[in-house]
Amino acid sequence: MPLVNHLKEFRAKISVNQQEMGQLTGVSRQTISQIERGDYSPSVALALKIAKVFGVTVEDIFEYEEDEV
Amino acid sequence: MSQEVKKTIKKDDRKAIPIFFVILFVSMIAGGVIGFCVGMLREGIDVKFADMLNRFIVKALPYGLYGVIAMVAIVVIIACKKSRREFYVWDGEDEEVLNKIEMRLGYALWMVSLHTIFNFFVFSASICTGLLDRVHGDKWMEMIIILGGFILGTAAVTIEQQKLVNLEKEMNPEKSGSVYDVKFQKKWMDSCDEAEKYQIYQCAYKAYKDTNSLCLILWVFCTISGMYFDFGLMPTIIITLVWGTMITSYTLESIHMSKKN
């Protein structure tokens, strides 16, 4: 998947676990876990909510890497 | 449609068609050979196998039912107790612990679902093999054993599902819905977030694909076995109904969603 995320690092900075992160963003612990593992790409709305929790932009947390042709 | 797109479509078809015809040809030959062999077997052998199978099912099923009830209950009790204990001592950091618990509960729920289907199967098999017709002499006991097993099994799976779902709700407080509510599936789905819904859709599509393949295999089995076991047209009709309903439901919903978008 070409989406790279730094969600775990940002989460560690503010010392919240996945369950607390889920509560802050209105999703389940499993969703946060899947996003961190790269198994799921969040919707625009969810990505914006996550960025708002950390007070950063979406691009700070999620990077899009083009697949090599 | 551009010429390039049309060329790509034709190229994909040209690549796949030879293999498609080879599979079709091999399937025809295999079907013909198997059908011929079954026909020959039917001429030469007494149909004792079907009788033996029938008698085994009739004798073993009622007792097997109670064994399955006990086994599934034990598994669910252990799964719930262990999961609850691990959840309440969880330090809130180690995600592997929760992942293990979720997996354990998932397998337990799978066993309960299979038990439900088995329960229905045993009841139907009892009726079809005439077990429940024997209402005279000492055969009352058999009828009580089977009916009692069915009722006990139904109660057991309902309670087991309730325990598992309630534990999920303890671990994930955002989830809602009671298994006793007729709208449980809708309420549970509404309480799922985007990733959970996406996962459900992926699983549903896999189930659709697998059932599609299974219907084809069952159709082949019923067509060939019908010559040997002589069980009439009913199995083929049922497979056709299930297959047709599945395809129609999927396609119509797909059309409906295209219109909405």
**CB contact, 8 Å: B174 with chain A?**
yes
Smallest Cβ–Cβ distance between A30 and the set B92, B93, B195 belongs to: B195
pTM of the model: 0.79
Both tokens of A38, joined, read: 């790269």
pLDDT at res. B135: 46
Residues in chain B: 261
SS3 B134: coil
CA distance A24 to A22: 5
CA distance B155 to B119: 11
Does the distance separating the beta carbons of B93 and A31 come in below 8 Å?
A: no
Does the distance separating the beta carbons of B99 and A33 come in below 8 Å?
A: yes
Q: Mean of the pLDDT values across residues B197-211?
A: 95
Q: Considering only CB atoms, which chain A residues are within 8 Å of B92?
A: 17, 19-20
**CB contact, 8 Å: B211 with chain A?**
no
Task: Compute the nearest-CA separation of A17 from chain B (Å).
Answer: 6
Cβ(A43)–Cβ(B186) below 8 Å: no
pLDDT of B13-64, one tens digit each? 888 888 888 888 888 888 777 777 766 666 555 556 667 766 777 677 777 8
Place of tokens 């079809």: B128
**To the nearest whole percent, how much of chain B has pLDDT over 70?**
89
Whether residue A37 is predicted with pLDDT greater than 50 in this model: the reply is yes
Task: Compute the nearest-CA separation of A56 from chain B (Å).
Answer: 22
Both tokens of B41, joined, read: 């077997």
Cβ(B195)–Cβ(A34) below 8 Å: yes
Q: How many Cβ pairs within 8 Å bridge chains A and B?
A: 36
User: For residue A14, what is the enclosing H or E element?
Assistant: none
The CB density around residue A26, as the number of other CB atoms within 10 Å, is 12
Cβ(A65)–Cβ(A4) below 8 Å: yes
SS3 A5: strand
**Amino acid present at A16:** V
CA distance B154 to B160: 10
A31 DSSP 8-state letter = H
pLDDT of B99-144, one tens digit each? 899 999 999 999 999 999 999 988 888 777 766 565 445 567 777 8
Q: Considering only CB atoms, which chain B residues are within 8 Å of A18?
A: 95
Nearest chain B residue (CA) to A11: B93
